[in-house]
A and B are shown apart, each in its own frame.
Chain A
Amino acid sequence: DAGVIQSPRHEVTEMGQEVTLRCKPISGHNSLFWYRQTMMRGLELLIYFNNNVPIDDSGMPEDRFSAKMPNASFSTLKIQPSEPRDSAVYFCASSPQGTGNTIYFGEGSWLTVV
């Protein structure tokens, strides 16, 4: 089975540009998560969805960040406008709904904002 698929794998963009990261979760998984990883802050949960509905977006840094899940097989994380401090690895992950279920991570989108 295919795992969580993220695109692009690497993105270099200029400050002020819009960035869109994409994710296809594992088929049949009800929950989808967006995490951000940096050296300073580790793995931070930005937002998660259950059954395509955003449940907790308290980790979204500011209004420049937005996430959508229009259907069970696709989600986007958008940054507009991007800033150098947004440089990080962004992970999408999915899991079957409920506590105690393994969360499966994609390989990440490496974002550099110059």
Chain B
Amino acid sequence: QQQVKQSPQSLIVQKGGISIINCAYENTAFDYFPWYQQFPGKGPALLIAIRPDVSEKKEGRFTISFNKSAKQFSLHIMDSQPGDSATYFCAVGGNTGKLIFGQGTTLQVKP
């Protein structure tokens, strides 16, 4: 049973464009929703995270939008840059502290 569904699998965006990646989850017990960024040959690193008590969180060019009733959240990257080219993972967490990750989205930002 896949607890976190992420889409799209891959994404190509022109420099300056908006990149949007979506995640859907099933278990309403989850209360922590981070996005991780992974560059080739490196481990994933936290990019931005949100709790369900807010519907949006913004940090620089990165925004998480959260829809609790739909059990969905998304990552928006504004003014996408070639340096943003990486694999992005959404994740869900609960009171255990462990994270369950989505399948990942490979983003390519073309100059």
Contact = CB atoms under 8 A, between A and B. Distances in A.
Chain A interface mostly: strand
Interface string B72-111: 0000000000000000010001111111111110000000
Interface in A15-60: 31, 33, 35, 42-43, 45, 48, 50, 55-56
Q: Tell which of B32, B44, B98, B103 has the most Cβ of chain A within 10 Å.
A: B98
A7 interface: no
Interface of B: 31-32, 34, 41-46, 49, 51, 89, 93-104
Q: Tell which of B42, B45, B93, B97 has the most Cβ of chain A within 10 Å.
A: B97
A104 B45 CA distance: 7
Contacts of B94: 99
